[in-house]
């Protein structure tokens, strides 16, 4: 990639003001009467407040878009456009775009078509390729004023920049990116609430730290519905403390220890994927025929006021928690389809006598023959950590699309140790004490 920005907001080619924007949140200026103030004192004062602000942004909020920054592809002007907006990067900087920024796709393509790793696909009229838009912090020096070149140097004079304008660089980068992953933090909490899967050790079992979370979750789900919120709160406090202990600032890339923030300065924020970008024509005269824009891969910040109101709703409030009767659940990543053995890990103990073939349905799809039933053999339930169900399939389903249904409904569902039917998939809708939810998974057996 070229070192020059591909879409530049507000200021083009301005001198970099990065070194003039220090951040030191733990060194403040102490004023006193008659104090002689110099440049170092004013920089100390500025860096203290900048540092405090960035610490708050970086650790309390992390990266994400606050408002605006919509991305679009305009085939009439052959441009990719980014609208005005505000975001935070992972190092706590405010990323402000004050007006629309545009990029001519054809000119960009001519500049980057020979970049290493960029492989556009030739079409009858031109090329097609994928890319993504990312934005990073870029301070600029501006407003030159007369200045003494050297203190106390008599009549000698010069000019110096008197302002630092905080703007952004926006780049169109070849290749799409995966949806923005969660920050590498709070794994225990994410596991507790079914947002992540456990980390598996070399023996195929969850690592001990994750097993502790799974055991706590099993205990919570085994309780009656009204008792679960308090149990979740206790588990939240426990695992939040351990997750926060694990947090550390990013390392200095120059090997000078750790930084103050979770990421390095100018860490980009991804705004959107652009897939199937199609250009027709020839070098120097490309026309943008189309592109699909997906901004949902970005992180977005929801205002505290909105979060407060959402907590009063049925999804995050008490209604859903109390409606769920505490039936066992299955994580879709905790089902292993082997040939011929299927292994399922359940996040709560079961009533062993409910684990019968009537609680399962397994079918296979073949493009030529359609659907067929698979028989379940050697069904076995092993209680403990984890709670495991295994069975063999016959005939072999290797290479076929298999549909597995584990029943929480019907006349013979799986029952938890608390006699509550299977509630279905982890993180799914609530199940009642009388009727749960089926767990359904479709997968090609390798």
Q: For 209-260, how does the pLDDT look when each residue is reduced to its tens digit (9 = 90+)? A: 999 998 898 888 777 777 888 899 999 999 999 999 999 998 887 767 678 9
pLDDT value of position 39 = 85
pLDDT digit string, tens, across residues 121-139:
999 999 999 999 999 999 8
> What residue segments make up the domains of the chain, in order of their start?
7-181+259-297, 187-246, 325-444
Mean pLDDT of 172-196: 83
Nearest to 113 by CA among 191, 57, 174: 174
As a whole number of angstroms, the distance between CA 151 and CA 226 comes to 73
Residue 373: count of CB within 10 angstroms of its CB: 9
Q: Cα–Cα distance between 197 and 192 in angstroms, integer?
A: 9
Count of C-beta atoms within a 10 Å radius of residue 276 = 12
Residues of the chain with pLDDT > 70: what percent?
A: 89
pLDDT 10s digits, 55-76: 999 999 999 999 999 999 999 9
Average pLDDT of the residues in 294-308? 91
Question: If you classify domain 325-444 with CATH, what class do you get?
Answer: mainly beta
Kindly report, residue by residue over 9-37, the tens digit of the pLDDT. 444 456 665 556 788 899 999 999 999 99
d(CA 291, CA 273): 10
CA atoms within 13 A on the CB side of 150: 5
Residues 6+ apart with CB under 8 A from 258: 248, 249, 250, 251, 252
């Amino acid at each position: 990639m070229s070192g020059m920005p591909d879409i530049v907001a507000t200021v083009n080619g301005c001198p970099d003001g990065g070194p003039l924007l220090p951040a030191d949140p733990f060194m403040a200026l102490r004023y006193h009467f008659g104090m002689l103030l110099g440049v170092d004192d004013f920089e100390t004062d500025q860096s203290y407040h900048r540092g405090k602000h960035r610490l708050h942004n970086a650790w309390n909020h992390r990266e994400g878009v606050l408002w605006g920054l919509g991305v679009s592809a305009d085939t009439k002007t052959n441009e990719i456009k980014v609208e005005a907006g505000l975001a935070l990067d992972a190092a706590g900087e405010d990323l402000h775009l004050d007006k629309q920024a545009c990029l001519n796709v054809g000119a960009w393509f001519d500049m980057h078509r020979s970049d290493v790793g960029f492989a556009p696909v030739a079409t009858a009229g031109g090329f097609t390729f994928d890319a993504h838009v990312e934005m990073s912090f870029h301070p600029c020096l501006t407003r030159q004023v007369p200045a003494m070149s050297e203190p106390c140097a008599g009549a000698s004079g010069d000019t110096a920049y008197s302002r630092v304008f905080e703007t952004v660089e926006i780049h169109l980068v070849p290749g799409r990116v995966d949806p923005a992953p969660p920050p590498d933090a709070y794994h225990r909490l994410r596991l507790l609430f079914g947002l992540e899967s456990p980390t598996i050790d070399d023996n195929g079992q969850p690592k001990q730290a994750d097993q502790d979370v799974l055991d706590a979750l099993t205990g919570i789900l085994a309780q009656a519905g009204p008792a679960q919120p308090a149990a979740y709160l206790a588990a939240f406090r426990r695992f939040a403390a351990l997750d926060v202990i694990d947090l550390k600032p990013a390392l200095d890339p120059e090997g000078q220890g750790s930084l103050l923030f979770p990421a390095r300065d100018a860490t980009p924020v991804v705004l959107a994927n652009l897939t199937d970008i199609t250009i027709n024509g020839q070098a120097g005269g490309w026309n943008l025929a189309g592109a699909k824009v997906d901004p949902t891969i970005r992180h977005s910040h929801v205002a505290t006021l909105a979060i407060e109101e959402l907590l009063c709703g049925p999804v995050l409030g008490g209604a859903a928690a109390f409606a769920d009767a505490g039936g066992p659940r299955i994580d879709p990543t905790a089902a292993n389809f082997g040939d011929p053995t299927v292994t399922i890990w359940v996040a709560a103990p079961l009533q062993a006598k409910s684990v019968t073939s009537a609680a399962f349905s397994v079918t296979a799809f073949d493009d030529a023959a359609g659907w067929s039933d698979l028989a379940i053999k050697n069904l076995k339930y092993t209680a403990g950590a984890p709670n495991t169900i295994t069975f063999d399939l016959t005939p072999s389903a290797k290479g076929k699309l298999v549909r597995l249904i584990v029943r929480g409904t019907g006349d013979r569902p799986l029952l938890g140790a608390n006699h509550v039917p299977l509630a279905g998939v982890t993180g799914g809708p609530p199940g009642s004490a009388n009727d749960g939810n089926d767990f359904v998974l479709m997968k090609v057996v390798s």
